[in-house]
A and B are shown apart, each in its own frame.
Chain A
Amino acid sequence: MNFLGFKPACTVDVELLKGDGVKPELVTLRSASGVPETIPLYTDGDTVSGVVTITPAFGKKIDHQGIKIELLGQIEAYYDKGSFYDFIASVREVSGPGEIKEELKYDFEFPNVEMLNETYSGVNVRLRYIVKVSLVRSYRGSIVKDFPFCVRNTAILPEINNSIKMEVGIEDCLHIEFEYRKSKYHLKDVLVGKIYFLLVQIKLKHMELEIRRRETTGSGSNQYNETQTMAKYEVMDGAPVKGECIPIRLFLGAYDLSPTYKDVMNKFSVRYFLNLVLVDEEDRRYFKQQEIHLFRTEM
Chain B
Amino acid sequence: QYDHLSLYKKVQSAGNVIPRLYLVLTVGSATLKHLVANGDDPSMDALPISVTELLVDMEAMCKGVQHPMRGLFLRAYLLQSAKLALDADRSASVSFLLGNFAEMNKLWVRMKYGDDSVSREQLADLVGKNLLYLAELVSFEEFRGDVLGKILEQVVSCRDSIAQTYLIECLTAAFPDEFQVGTIDQILDVLPKLDASVNMATVLGSMLDRLARYSETEAAFTVLNELQVFDKISASVEASIACHRDKLSGEAIVSIYGGMLSFADTVYPGRISYADGILGKCLAKFGDCKAGVGGQGQGDGRCEGLGSLTPDAATNKKLVDLLCLPLEKYDLTTLLNAEFFSSLVDILSPNKKRELAMKVATIMPRRGEVIRDVASAKALFGFLEPLHDAQSDENDSKAFATALGSIRLENPAQRAKLVFDLVEGFKGRDDVVRSIGPAAVSSALDGVDIREYSDDTLVLLVGVCSRIADAGSGATAVRLLLDIVKAVGTARMDGDEGGHSSRMHIVYECMEQACILLERALFESVACKTTLMEIISTLPTADAILPSDSRDMLHHKVASYCTNLLPRKDQCRAILALACVERDGPTVQARLRRAAHAIRAIREQDAVFAGTRTQEQLEEPQKLLEELEQAVVYLRTQGVEISDDELQDLHG
A interface size (C-beta, 8 A) = 19
- B12, B70, B110: which contacts A249 (Cβ < 8 A)? B12
Q: How far is the CB of A186 from chain B (nearest CB, A)?
A: 16
Instruction: Give residues of chain A (238-268) contacting chain B, Cβ–Cβ below 8 Å.
Output: 238-241, 244-247, 249, 251, 254
- Interface residue B18 (Cβ < 8 Å from any Cβ of A): yes
B66 near A246: Cβ-Cβ < 8 Å: yes
Q: Cβ of B110 and Cβ of A237 under 8 Å apart?
A: no
Neighbouring B residues of A240 by C-beta, 8 Å: 66
B contact residues around A236 at 8 Å (CB): 17, 64-66
B99 shortest CB reach to chain A, Å: 13
Contact A241 B61 (CB under 8 A): no
B64 touches A247 (CB 8 A): yes
Contact A239 B66 (CB under 8 A): yes
B15 within 8 A of A: yes
CB of A234 within 8 A of CB of B15, answer yes
CA distance A176 to B302 in the complex (A): 52
* Interface check A84, CB cutoff 8 A: no
Q: Does A233 contact B (CB under 8 A)?
A: yes
Contact of B60 with A by CB under 8 A? yes
B292 at the binding interface (Cβ < 8 Å): no
For A249, the closest partner residue in chain B by CB is B12
- The answer to whether A249 and B61 touch (CB under 8 A), given A238-B67, A241-B110, is yes
Q: A39 in the interface, Cβ–Cβ < 8 Å?
A: no
Residue in B15, B64, B68 whose CB lies within 8 Å of A232: B15
Residues of A within 8 A of B63 (CB): 244-247
Q: Across the interface, do B13 and A237 meet the contact criterion of CB distance under 8 Å?
A: no
A210 to chain B, nearest CB (A): 11
Contact between chains at A238 and B61 (CB < 8 Å): no
Within 8 A of B (CB), among A120-169: none
- A244-B66 in contact given A234-B15, A237-B17, A237-B18 (Cβ < 8 Å): yes
A234 touches B66 (CB 8 A): no
B71 neighbours in A (Cβ, 8 Å): 238
A253 to chain B, nearest CB (A): 8
Q: Does B67 contact A237, Cβ atoms closer than 8 Å?
A: yes
Nearest-Cβ distance from residue B9 to partner chain A, whole angstroms: 6
A239 to B67, Cβ gap below 8 A? yes
Q: How far is the CA of A245 from the CA of B66 in the complex (A)?
A: 10
Annotate A211-228 by CB proximity to B: 1 below 8 A, 0 otherwise: 000000000000000000
B60 — which chain A residues lie within 8 A by C-beta?
247
Whether A251 and B13, one on each chain, are in contact in the complex, defined by CB atoms closer than 8 angstroms, is: yes
Question: Does the CB pair B110–A235 fall under 8 Å?
Answer: no
Count of B interface residues, CB-CB < 8 Å: 19
Instruction: Assess the A254–B66 pair: CB atoms within 8 A.
Output: no
Contacts of B110 in A (CB 8 A): 241
* Complex Cα–Cα for A233 and B64 (A): 12
Smallest Cβ distance from A45 to chain B, in angstroms? 34
Q: Which of B143-183 contact A (CB under 8 A)?
A: none
Chain A residues lying within 8 Å of B65, measured Cβ to Cβ, are 236-238
Q: Find residues 1-54 in chain B having any chain A CB closer than 8 Å to their own CB.
A: 9, 12-13, 15-18, 20
Do residues B15 and A238 form an inter-chain contact, with CB atoms below 8 A?
no
- With most chain B CB atoms within 10 A of its CB, the pick from A233, A237, A239, A254 is A237
Contacting residues, chain A, for B13 (C-beta < 8 A): 251, 254
* A245 to B17 CA separation, bound complex (whole angstroms): 15
Whether A234 contacts B16 by the Cβ 8 Å rule is yes
Hey, which chain A residues are within 8 Å of B67, CB to CB? 237-239
- Once the chains are docked, how many angstroms separate the CA of A249 from the CA of B71? 18
Which of chain B's residues have a CB closer than 8 A to the CB of A249?
Answer: 12, 61
Provide the bound-state CA to CA distance between A247 and B64, in Å: 7
B65-90 residues with Cβ-Cβ distance < 8 A to A are 65-68, 70-71
* Complex CA–CA separation, A240 to B64 (angstroms): 9
- Please, which residue of chain B has its CB at the minimum distance from the CB of A231? B15
Quote the shortest CB–CB distance from A192 to chain B (angstroms): 11
The answer to whether A237 touches B64 (Cβ under 8 A) is yes
Most central of B9, B12, B63, B66 by chain A CB within 10 Å: B66
Contacts of B15 in A (CB 8 A): 232-234
B153 to chain A, nearest CB (A): 15
Neighbouring A residues of B68 by C-beta, 8 Å: 238
Chain A nearest CB from B418 CB (Å) reads 73
Taken together as a complex, chains A and B put the C-alpha atoms of A232 and B64 apart, in Å, by 15
CB distance from A251 to the nearest CB of B (A): 6
Contact A237 B66 (CB under 8 A): yes
Q: CB-CB < 8 A to A244: which residues of B? A: 63, 66
Minimal beta-carbon separation of B61 from chain A (angstroms): 6
Given A241-B110, A247-B61, A251-B12 in contact, is the A235-B17 Cβ separation under 8 Å? yes
Report A-chain residues with C-beta under 8 Å of the C-beta of B64: 235-237, 246-247
B112 to chain A, nearest CB (A): 13
Nearest CB of chain B from residue A188's CB, rounded to whole Å: 11
**By the criterion CB–CB under 8 Å, are A238 and B66 in contact?**
yes
Rounded to whole angstroms, the CA-CA distance of A118 and B381 in the bound complex is: 110
- Contact mask for chain B residues 495-535; partner A; CB cutoff 8 A; 1 contact, 0 none: 00000000000000000000000000000000000000000
Q: Least Cβ distance of B353 to chain A in Å?
A: 53
Task: List the B residue with the shortest CB-CB distance to A241.
Answer: B110
Please indicate the chain A residues that have their CB under 8 angstroms from the CB of B20 in the complex.
234
Q: Which residues of B contact A235 (CB under 8 A)?
A: 17, 64
Residues of A within 8 A of B18 (CB): 237
Task: Look across to chain A and name the residue whose beta carbon is closest to the beta carbon of B68.
Answer: A238
Closest to A248 in B: B64
Picked from A204, A234, A241, the residue with its CB within 8 Å of the CB of B17 is A234
Write the nearest CB–CB distance from B157 to chain A, whole angstroms. 12
**Residues B12 and A238 in contact, CB atoms below 8 Å apart:** no
Whole-angstrom CA separation of A234 from B16 in the bound complex: 5
How far, in whole Å, are A3 and B302 apart by their CA atoms in the complex? Answer: 111
C-alpha gap A237/B68 in the complex (Å) = 10
A68-88 at interface with B (beta carbon < 8 Å): none
Which of A233, A241, A251 has most B Cβ within 10 Å?
A233
Residue in B closest to A205 when the chains form the complex, CB atoms:
B67
Instruction: Determine the distance from Cα of A249 to Cα of B65 in the docked complex, in whole angstroms.
Output: 14
Contacts of A245 in B (CB 8 A): 63
CA distance A236 to B67 in the complex (A): 9
Q: How far is the CB of A230 from chain B (nearest CB, A)?
A: 12
A240 nearest CB neighbor, chain B only: B66
A241 vs B13: C-alpha distance in the bound complex, in angstroms? 26
Min distance, Cβ B49 to any Cβ of chain A, angstroms: 14
Q: Which residues of B contact A246 (CB under 8 A)?
A: 63-64, 66
Chain B min CB distance to A179 (Å): 15
Q: How far is the CA of A23 from the CA of B70 in the complex (A)?
A: 54
In the complex, what distance in Å separates the CA atom of A233 from the CA atom of B71?
A: 18
- State the Cβ distance, B400 to closest chain A Cβ, in Å: 65
Least CB distance from A280 to B in Å reads 13
A233 to B21, CA, bound (A): 13
A254 and chain B: residue at smallest CB distance = B13
Nearest chain A CB to B108 CB, angstrom units: 13
Which residues of chain B are near A239, meaning CB under 8 Å?
66-67
Q: How far is the CB of B211 from chain A (nearest CB, A)?
A: 37
Interface centre among B60, B64, B68 (most CB of A within 10 A): B64
Least CB distance from A117 to B in Å reads 30
Closest chain B residue, CB of each to CB of A255? B13
Which chain B residues lie closer than 8 Å to A206 at the CB level? Answer: 17
Chain B residues with CB under 8 Å of A233's CB are 15
Residue with the highest number of chain B CB atoms closer than 10 Å, among A235, A238, A240, A254: A238
With a CB–CB cut-off of 8 A, which chain B residues contact A237? 16-18, 64-67, 70
Bound together, the chains give a CA A206 to CA B67 distance in angstroms of: 9
A246 to B63, CA, bound (A): 6
Smallest CB separation, B449 vs chain A (Å): 84
- Expressed in whole angstroms, the Cα–Cα distance for A280 and B539 within the complex equals 106
Asked whether A251 lies within 8 Å of B17 as measured between CB atoms, the reply is: no
Contact check, A251 vs B9: say whether CB atoms are below 8 A apart: yes
Would you give the 0/1 interface string for A268-289, flagging 1 where the beta carbon is closer than 8 Å to chain B? Answer: 0000000000000000000000
Given contacts A237-B64, A245-B63, 9 further A-B contacts (CB under 8 A): A206-B17, A234-B16, A235-B64, A236-B65, A238-B66, A239-B66, A247-B63, A249-B12, A249-B61
Could you show 5 A-B contacts with beta carbons less than 8 Å apart? A234-B16, A234-B20, A238-B67, A246-B64, A246-B66
Which 3 pairs from chain A and chain B are nearest by CB? A238-B67, A238-B66, A254-B13
